[in-house]
Chains A and B, each alone.
Chain A
Amino acid sequence: MTAATDDAAGTGLSTPRHSAADARSDSAAFAEEFRRAHRRGLRRAAWLRALLNVTGILLFLAVWEAVPRLGTWVNPVLLPPPSVVFDTFVPMLLSGEIPANILASLRRAALGFGIATATGVTAGLLTARIGLLHHVSEPILHGFRSVPSIALVPLSVLWFGIGEGSKVALVAWGSFFPIWITTFIGVRDVPAAYLRSAACLGAGRLATLLLVVLPAALPMILAGLRQGIAVSLILLVAAELSGAREGVAYMMSTGHQMFRVDIMLIGLVLLGTFGFIADRLFVALIRRLFPWYTTAS
């Protein structure tokens, strides 16, 4: 019995002349009031949280603004304050230079990450479900996995040139491994009770894979994808720094050549924002798509 109905019963006792219908409408009114108060509380907590978040950002900016002005121990050329960075940022934004670079980087990251997702999830599924494939591929996959992906930057430039190919390939390569390994673990560790239930209910191989194994492994797969997003960004930067004609990290390296720390800082902020927004979007999407996921585990 819920708190609301308990309370309604209590109200009924204190006023014994209540009819059953009255008691029911009382309890409905109480439930409505309870629900409204609960929602109000949640909203207030969310606002407070947002307010504190913004305060944190403002505090950080204030300290950063103050430090280069507070004496001689910080060179303002090496650490320009946010106001200076912002003054550089606005014209670059309006001229279309920054949007073009953002778009170039996003395209590479998305393409590479998409390829890694398709191949990584497939490889994870197959190696976890087919023992033969697992044992044959194990040493090679784990061997490659142990090579830091950044070490492949020069090779990738030789193989794929300095065009888009090498950048997309690097991003795909790097994020493939976390996606593959977590998918593998998730699929391998699907509880036996799920597989047995499916078999007892007449599910064949394909139905078991699509309707039972994949959803059961989904929490792990999603964790792998999230890790893959983070790795994508790292490799994106490494690839663009190794030679590119556009992109956020390319913009930073030109800033470096021109000794424009403000431009480099703009790049850093953009990259941080990318990562943050991608991660948040991802989490929100999961909540949307899989209502059982966040609360089930």
Chain B
Amino acid sequence: MSGPLIDFDRVSQIYAARDGSPVWALSDVSLRVEAGEFVCLIGPSGCGKSTLIHLLAGFLKPTSGAVRFRGRPLDGPGPDRGVVFQEYALFAWMTARQNVEFGLRMQRVSAPVRRRRALEALDRVGLRHAADRYPHELSGGMRQRVAVARALVVEPEVVLMDEPFAAVDAMTRTTLQEDLLRLWRETGVSVLFVTHNIDEAVFLAQRVVVMGAGPGVIREDLTVDLPYPRDRGSAEFGREYARIAAALARGSRGADQSDGERRAA
């Protein structure tokens, strides 16, 4: 396959506000992601990060422009694009294993194979022992692990993650990040990861896409050229952190500046 895996081509998304006036969630956004890349989207609240994810997942159709996946325009959600939500979207009436098996069941994989693959997937997120527990019997971090296993077990080409670790405590968050990086390197899947957290972006991403609000646009596209695993205490880490923080600050100031000034900055 030639060309990028994901191709947002001059995409705009307009919602109707309650009074019917247009809300520009995304304005003329173009973004390409290659197969196997780990890309973080970062930006202030309301800049259209979730909208971007929903467009690619197939929950929304763009108002204008095209979203292409492997060169073809999208037509609804599908198992080639896994999604991990911020809120807990595990099926409450299924055990962890049944949740992970769900996607395989939809592919009509036979029960014994399904079971084996689900247990392997749970093993990879360190939760084999919790396979028979229901979501309400799991901690927040464990639930997100199961959600990651559920998304990965059907072997999607990209996983879309919308602030998946925002609701867990800082310590759990760090281990979840490490696990995610390990899974990414083991499977070669592409990851599009939304975060509010600069530290998280620098720790995870090869590329950090900085977005700005009102209307939602992409301000900068920064490469984080550090080897994995990354050391949060290192000087390079601090430099990358400062670079992204500066880009975010420019972005939020840029919203009420002229185009010329922004380009000069």
Give the interface SS of chain A, mostly helix, strand, loop or mixed. helix
Please report the C-alpha to C-alpha distance between residue A295 and residue B151 in the assembled complex, in whole angstroms. Answer: 26
CB distance from B137 to the nearest CB of A (A): 8
> Is B3 an interface residue, CB under 8 A from the partner?
no
CB-based contact B134/A292 at 8 Å: yes
> Is A218 an interface residue, CB under 8 A from the partner?
yes
A273-297 contact mask (Cβ, 8 Å, vs B): 1 or 0: 0000000000000000011110110
Whether A295 contacts B136 in the complex (CB less than 8 A), given A193-B87, A197-B83, comes out as yes
Which of chain A's residues has its CB closest to B89's CB?
Answer: A193
Please report the C-alpha to C-alpha distance between residue A204 and residue B154 in the assembled complex, in whole angstroms. Answer: 16
A195-236 contact mask (Cβ, 8 Å, vs B): 1 or 0: 011111111100100011001101000000000000000000
> Is B81 an interface residue, CB under 8 A from the partner?
yes
> Is A160 an interface residue, CB under 8 A from the partner?
no
Most chain B CB within a 10 A radius of its CB, from A191, A202, A207, A291 = A202
**In chain A between 160 and 215, which residues have their CB closer than 8 angstroms to a CB of chain B?**
191, 193-194, 196-204, 207, 211-212, 215
Please report the C-alpha to C-alpha distance between residue A211 and residue B57 in the assembled complex, in whole angstroms. Answer: 21
CB distance from A89 to the nearest CB of B (A): 44
CB-based contact B79/A201 at 8 Å: yes
> Is B49 an interface residue, CB under 8 A from the partner?
no
**In chain B between 161 and 211, which residues have their CB closer than 8 angstroms to a CB of chain A?**
none
Chain A residues touching B, range:
20 to 34
Which of chain B's residues has its CB closest to A196's CB?
Answer: B59
CB-based contact A200/B83 at 8 Å: yes
> Is B103 an interface residue, CB under 8 A from the partner?
yes
**In chain A between 86 and 116, which residues have their CB closer than 8 angstroms to a CB of chain B?**
none
CB-based contact A201/B93 at 8 Å: no
Whether A201 contacts B136 in the complex (CB less than 8 A), given A193-B89, A215-B93, A218-B93, comes out as no
CB-based contact B93/A200 at 8 Å: no
Q: Give the residues in chain A near B77, CB-CB below 8 Å.
A: 196, 199-200
CB distance from B18 to the nearest CB of A (A): 18
A71-94 contact mask (Cβ, 8 Å, vs B): 1 or 0: 000000000000000000000000
CB-based contact B106/A200 at 8 Å: no
CB-based contact A201/B106 at 8 Å: yes
Give the interface SS of chain B, mostly helix, strand, loop or mixed. loop
Among A197, A199, A292, A293, which residue has its beta carbon within 8 angstroms of that of B85? A197
Please report the C-alpha to C-alpha distance between residue A50 and residue B151 in the assembled complex, in whole angstroms. Answer: 48
CB distance from A209 to the nearest CB of B (A): 13
> Is B92 an interface residue, CB under 8 A from the partner?
yes
Among B85, B87, B102, which residue has its beta carbon within 8 angstroms of that of A201? B102
CB-based contact B134/A200 at 8 Å: no
> Is B15 an interface residue, CB under 8 A from the partner?
no
Which of chain B's residues has its CB closest to A218's CB?
Answer: B93
> Is B212 an interface residue, CB under 8 A from the partner?
no
Whether A202 contacts B89 in the complex (CB less than 8 A), given A197-B83, A291-B134, A296-B134, comes out as no
CB distance from B79 to the nearest CB of A (A): 4
Which of chain B's residues has its CB closest to A290's CB?
Answer: B93
Q: Give the residues in chain A near B76, CB-CB below 8 Å.
A: 199
Q: Give the residues in chain B near A296, CB-CB below 8 Å.
A: 92-93, 134-136
CB-based contact A212/B91 at 8 Å: yes
**In chain B between 103 and 152, which residues have their CB closer than 8 angstroms to a CB of chain A?**
103, 106-107, 134-136, 150-151
A–B Cβ pairs within 8 angstroms, 14 of them: A193-B85, A194-B91, A196-B77, A197-B83, A200-B57, A200-B151, A201-B102, A201-B106, A202-B78, A202-B103, A203-B102, A207-B106, A296-B134, A296-B136
A interface, CB within 8 angstroms of B: 191, 193-194, 196-204, 207, 211-212, 215-216, 218, 290-293, 295-296
B interface, CB within 8 angstroms of A: 57-59, 76-79, 81-83, 85, 87-93, 102-103, 106-107, 134-136, 150-151, 154
